[in-house]
Chains A and B, each alone.
Chain A
Amino acid sequence: MKTTRAFIVIAATMVVATLAVTPVNVLGQGFKPTRAVDVVNHSRAGGGSDLFARALVQMLEQEKLIPPGWQVLNKAAGAGAQAMAYLAEKKGDPHTISVFTNTWVVTSLTVKETTYTIDDFTPLVRMILEPTVAVIKGDSLYKNLKDFVEDAKKKPGQLIQVGGTVSSVDNLFRNLIQKTTGAKWQYVDVRSGGERIANLLGGHMHIYFAQPAEVSEHVRAGNVKIIAALTESRLEGLPNVSTIKEQGIDVPIITQVRGAVGPPAMPKDRVQYWEGLFLRLTKTASWKKYVKENEVESAYLNSEQLGASLKELSNQLRETLKEAGVKVVR
């Protein structure tokens, strides 16, 4: 009995002492992870979000902003659904965050099985906007997207666009352009980026709305050419490529977003930590190199701004998805 009581006393003293030594955590200012963080993503190994998560961890480590040992977790089922369910389970856990893309928003809108939607999570930061460009085979006669659209008008349904799933940005752009111009062409959903380029190079399909980095080597080899930037303004890396609006096709621009979210209802101090960490990352040399090499736009937003931007994106995607004929369930 005596020893038990002594033990309790010692334990209690230790707890008090710990609290006294580390008042910062209790008072809520300056949260810092106390162990390695798990970074969740919704791709399989080698997929887009997987690579983004790994690149983030690698850069953070390289710039000595975090200690080594952070893990990347793949929760690939259900196009974001499994990753969302996993992150929701981690409510209250300070050591789990996830990277996200438009896919999370689209899945929230269109998959009725998902118990959680993007609105359930704590927005942390937006990091990247990925521009889309229109790509055709190198020996094709079209000089710009306008030529392609005009040709499509002449032979409706004969030209073929290759791209991702019906709910992907590529197909949404197709629907928007078809609607404004009255042209009609076919859309074939091909699983991986590699197979899409193969179909373009083989001449089986005629146009592909890609991310610049996906095709840059083929552009350099002369196998394909970029005929329009589906962006608001010209891209830094492609100053000679005119934008879709310059070519007289006025459509709303949808951009692929990449960033990070946390489990539901994350306390303010933790949000601040993540905002600070990623903001510091965007100022580093590694980040600048990454942005340049992958031909993406560094587009940091903090938690509050991201929250507002996600609502906007959600509304925009809901309308465009409906127009594209995808069943919206929320």
Chain B
Amino acid sequence: METLQNLSLGLSVALTLTNLSWCFIGVFIGTVVGILPGIGPPGAIAMLLPLTFKLDPTSAFIMLAGIYYGAKYGGSTTSILLNIPGEPSSVVTCLDGYQMARQGRAGPALGIAAIASFIAGTFGVLGLMLAAPPLARFALRFAPPEYFAVMSLGLTMVAYLTGKSVVKGLLATFFGIWLGIIGTDLFTAQSRYTFGQVELVDGIDFTVVSIGLFAVAEILVNMESRVKADLFKLPKGLRNLLPKLQDLKDCRFAFVNGTLVGFFVGLLPGAGATIASMISYGIEKAVSKHPEKFGAGAIEGVAAPEGANNSDAGGGLVPLLSLGIPGSNVGAMLLAALYLWGLRPGPLLIHEHPELFWGVVASMYVGNFLLLILNLPLVPIFVQILRLPYFALYPMVLGISIVGVYSVNYSFLDVWLMGFFGLLGYLMRKLHFPMAPLVLGMVLGKPTERALRQSLMMSQGDFTILFMRPISATLLSAAVIILLSPTVQRLSLREKKGPQRV
């Protein structure tokens, strides 16, 4: 009852014409920021912050939050159409989304991304609304050993992402982990594999690697065969531009999976949407009846990570608004904004400024709806990009990639590195190395190492700390089961069919 009253207070705040307009402006800017690779929500919010000082804090927060979750909708667009990950959290979307585009299903892919985002985003807000304070207390039970368990669980997804050759899959994973290690040692501040370059002291940005591996490598592969009549099958007729009822049915589980994984990972400060999207993709493939379709244009492979990416926003706002603890760069920016507007974000914010909390919650329902009706009509328009001839399309892709990579750190070394990873991606494709494990290794390697070393610092080097705590013990057991199950499956298959090459 109280929640309903509060929600009606929130709606009365969010549905005023002013706040509706700010919400629309926010989600619109967010969509654009999401589509453009490189520039992310923290940068966009930093740029717009000075303009918000004259606004009412609630209106301003509604707008900035709109940028935050709006960017998550836009991120999938370039991933699907051009194989350029618009945001790090949309890298996984490239795997199946781009394949769908090549099969003439760009429309359904973009459509399902928007729908999954809408469903997961809305349920994420529901979680934020119904249970923010208890959920925040739950998140506090996660210390480094629990983080290590979550990250290990994520790394076990490699078992499902390797493709045909386990060896190649593991090699790619370890190479990814090594890439993540480059930079400064987390605790002793020693440089690792920096080759004396100042630019490498902070490591290689994930955006640089992913744009190189996906977008640039794709161009190289396609340049090879001089005459390829239709790289993209063009969708014919309006009906093929949107997902069909069957597609929605196929994605039922993906919606649930994405929502839950994204929200849960979002709750944990410092974990991040990229990790959420990868874990949900792995789960989706693990439970799928046709895992062989993943990586070749499975629509669930788009729906699950895009959903996870979006419910992460609702999850991430839980510790931010109920405790004043930001979980990501965007969170830190939003927190700073609250300070600059003269509010005091912290455990008392919800009680002292209910109109802000409930106004933002209500605006997020509205915002997700706005994003859906903003994004679906854009689908047919975006799909037209694929009509461009290659001599126009590829320079454009390369241009967007260079600008995107350069804008991460304003460093030219990053642009060269992107080229290098483009070549590497090309070689990997030729030698049939899978990309997904590399990306997973790079994203999860460093956080796993960090959590492990933090755990051992807590316990003075005693490994049992990882197994003595109930949450981490449970998660680690789950990780072991996941890791062993494909092997068991394979063995039992081999017994049935007799010996064969694996």
Contact = CB atoms under 8 A, between A and B. Distances in A.
Given A44-B329, A45-B329, A46-B46, A217 B202 contact: no
Interface string A164-207: 01110000000000000000001111111011011101101100
Interface string B46-70: 1001100100000000000000000
Given A46-B42, A187-B457, A189-B187, A199 B143 contact: yes
B411 interface: yes
A50 interface: yes
A34 to B, nearest CB: 22
A188 B144 contact: yes
Q: Of residues A77, A187, A192, A326, which shows the largest number of chain B Cβ atoms within 10 Å of its Cβ?
A: A77
Nearest to A78: B201
A187 B144 CA distance: 13
Contact of B201 (A74, A81, A293): A81
Contacts of B127: none
Interface stretch (B171-179, B344-352, B393-401, B416-424): B344-352
A74 B409 CA distance: 8
Interface in A37-64: 44-47, 50-51, 54-55, 58
Given A81-B201, A202-B141, A217-B347, A188 B270 contact: no
A256 interface: no
A220 B326 contact: no
A114 interface: yes
Given A77-B202, A217-B324, A44 B140 contact: no
Contact of A194 (B45, B144, B327): B327
A255 interface: no
Interface residues of A, number: 55
B457 A194 contact: no
B191 A113 contact: yes
Interface in B301-340: 319, 323-327, 329-333, 335-336, 339-340
Interface in A60-76: 72, 74-76
A202 B190 contact: no
A85 interface: yes
Contacts of B349: 217
A95 interface: no
Nearest to B49: A54
Given A197-B325, A220-B346, A113 B409 contact: no
Contact of B198 (A45, A113, A190): A113
B197 interface: yes
A115 interface: yes
Contacts of B454: 188-190
Interface residues of B, number: 58
A194 B332 contact: yes
B199 interface: yes
Given A165-B189, A189-B186, A160 B196 contact: no
Contacts of A54: 46, 49-50
A188 B197 CA distance: 28
A160 B458 contact: yes
Interface in B341-400: 344-349
Contacts of A201: 140, 323
A79 interface: yes
A298 interface: no
A218 B46 contact: no
A111 interface: yes
A221 B141 contact: no
A272 interface: no
A82 interface: yes
A183 B42 CA distance: 42
B233 interface: no
Contact of A198 (B325, B331, B333, B411): B325
Interface string B181-209: 00010111111001011110110000000
B139 interface: yes
A143 interface: no
Contacts of B410: 75
A221 B346 contact: yes
B332 A192 contact: yes
Contacts of B198: 77-78, 81-82, 85, 113-115
A213 to B, nearest CB: 8
Given A76-B202, A77-B411, A327 B42 contact: no
Contacts of B5: none
Contacts of A191: 270, 450
B202 A46 contact: no
B194 A45 contact: no
Contact of B319 (A111, A115, A194, A327): A194
Contact of B270 (A51, A75, A114, A192): A192
Given A46-B46, A217-B345, A76 B409 contact: yes
Nearest to A157: B460
Contacts of B450: 191
Contacts of A110: 189
3 pairs of A and B residues whose beta carbons are closest in the complex: A217-B346, A204-B143, A78-B201
Given A54-B46, A188-B457, A198-B323, 12 more contacts: A46-B45, A46-B333, A78-B202, A166-B188, A192-B332, A194-B331, A198-B140, A199-B144, A202-B143, A217-B346, A218-B324, A220-B348
22 contacts: A45-B42, A50-B46, A58-B340, A76-B409, A78-B198, A78-B201, A78-B202, A81-B201, A186-B460, A188-B454, A188-B458, A189-B186, A189-B454, A192-B269, A194-B332, A202-B141, A202-B142, A204-B143, A205-B458, A217-B347, A221-B346, A223-B347
